[in-house]
Amino acid sequence: MKGLPEEYSVSAMPLRFRSCTLVTLAALLAASSFAWTAETPPKPKVRAITAFVHIDRDSFQSQIAEALGVLRQAKTAMEQSGYEVETIRITTQPFPEYTRGMSRTEALEFLRRLDELAVKESFDPNIGPAMLADTADASSAQLLADVLSTTKLSGSIVIAGNDGIHWKNLRAAAKLIKAVAERSPRSQGNFNFTASAMLQPYAPFYPGSYHTADGKRFAIGLESANVVAQALSGGGQPEVVGQRIISALSPHLQAIESIAHRIERQSRWIYMGIDTTPVPLKDVSIGEAIEKFTGRSFGSSGTLTAAAAITKAVQSVPVKRVGYSGLMLPVLEDSVLAQRWAEGTYNMDSVLAYSAVCGTGLDTIPLPGDITEQQIEKILADVASLAVKWAKPLTARLLPVAGKKAGERTDFDDPFLVNTVIRPLP
């Protein structure tokens, strides 16, 4: 390409114009640099590095200390590679195993000590399912209701497995949800509880996380809705968009998995995999990502197609997968989803329909405080039925708000939650 004629070059300009021209060129270069930076591919956060520990109530403090050593080593390695780590977590075996033989008062005191240790050492604790098999003792669910109402511990009840729906557990879960809504401050205790169906062990995300083995294992979950949002922003057919998601996520997940393998070799703790679900959080919105694909409000036609495309893509990333590895649509943890819920562009049945193409079920659903146990049972039964039918992991994290009716707003003060309008039951 030929250069400018001599008379148009900067050196040929009168001196009084040269400085202005150079300043203008510098401004243009700065502007172009800013534009390039604004389009730099986003990086996901690591939402959770979760260790799985089989604790002994006589030596749990030393076991927790060992797990924290591994978690902090992993956290440092990931941060040195440029990935912000939001939480480190420890999931125990189902708590009825290590509180067996204690009175209810003694068991509650022990679990409160675990909660106090978590606050002191800055990790998030999960005490596993109160009821795993359908033959479990329902008194454990009553103890878990006490725990959820008075601590920050997370837990669950398994309402369906490979052997079908656990109806006894399902009814106990409905009773717990109703009780915790009435007894916990601002009805927030149910944020740390889920009824899980067909979820396998070693999921890093809470509250459904659990394990039943010997421990000394760990898994990773990312907050990567921002990466998916950028991949969807260019539009296109689902198969093209899916490939963009794979291309955008793969380098990050593979880099993090490489670190995990290094930690595995150094610590001799077993790496179980990555939950590839593109988890949102407030303004890092999966709802916004889907709207970029459809060009319309979340809940419009095309939303289910987007859910299917995202799920297929995240299940195609070449890493060891664990947990849900699907699509998470947490109504109260995503600013756009919370806003569209208030606007009524979708409802609980919509979310359950999206779960048919591999969502994660009903997550952080705000409900009227006067909902009955029987109505909660029916909601849980729908989730369990869908999970069993398609052999996929689904969970229900339902948040009835005591004293609130349909049409009123929630007033949660948890930093992870976005307040929105409570919709009527379908």
If asked whether residues 164 and 243 sit together in one domain, one would say no
Q: Examine residue 332 and state whether it is found in any structural domain, yes or no.
A: yes
Percentage above 90 pLDDT, the chain: 87
Same domain for 177 and 57: yes
Tell me: do 188 and 250 sit in the same domain.
no
What share of the chain in percent tops pLDDT 70? Answer: 91
Model pLDDT for residues 126-184, shown as the tens digit of each residue? 999 999 999 999 999 999 999 999 999 999 999 999 999 999 999 999 999 999 999 99
Same domain, 100 and 156: yes
pLDDT at residue number 39: 60
Instruction: Assign residue 173 the CATH number of its domain.
Output: 3.20.70.20
**What radius of gyration, in Å, describes the C-alpha atoms of the chain?**
25
224 and 193: one domain? no
The token pair that represents 249 in the structure block: 């996520």
The answer to whether residue 12 sits within a structural domain is: no
| Residue labelled with tokens 């929105």 | 420
Whether the per-residue pLDDT at 368 is higher than 70: the answer is: yes
Looking at the fold, whether 191 and 256 belong to one and the same domain comes out as no
- Do 343 and 247 sit in the same domain of this protein? yes
| pLDDT of 13 higher than 60 | no
* Within a domain: 367: yes
Q: What is the pLDDT of residue 22?
A: 39
Characterize the bridge pairing of strands 164-165 and 361-368: unpaired
Look at residue 335 and tell me if it is in a domain: yes
Give the pLDDT band of residue 392 (cuts 50, 70, 90): very high
Identity of residue 216? K
138 — phi, psi (to 5°)? -65, -15
Q: What is the helix (H) or strand (E) element at residue 158, kind and residue range?
A: strand 154-161
106 domain-assigned: yes
Q: What is the DSSP string of 153-200?
A: -EEEEEEEETTEE-HHHHHHHHHHHHHHHHHSGGG-GGGGEEEEESPP
In a domain, 351, yes or no: yes
Q: Are residues 263 and 302 in the same domain?
A: yes
Q: Which of 11-15, 240-244, 334-338, 420-424 is the least confident region? A: 11-15
pLDDT at 18: 42
Q: CA torsion sign, 148 to 128 to 215 to 137?
A: positive
Beta pairing partners, 44:
none
Maximum Cα interatomic distance, the chain, rounded to a whole number of Å:
95
Q: What is the pLDDT of residues 24-54, one digit of tens each?
A: 434 433 433 333 334 678 999 999 999 999 9
pLDDT band at residue 278, thresholds of 50, 70 and 90? very high
Query: According to the model, what pLDDT value does residue 236 have?
Result: 84
In a domain, 1, yes or no: no
d(CA 290, CA 383): 23
Q: Do 226 and 90 share a structural domain?
A: no
* Amino acid 225: pLDDT: 96
144 and 288 in one domain? no
* Domain co-membership, 193 together with 223: no
Task: Kindly state whether residues 240 and 140 are assigned to the same domain.
Answer: no
* Other Cβ atoms within 10 Å of 120 Cβ, number: 8
| Tally of residues, the chain | 426
Range of the domain at 171: 50-197
How many domains is the chain partitioned into structurally? 2
Is 371 in contact with 402 (CB distance < 8 Å)? no
Domain annotation covers residue 115: yes
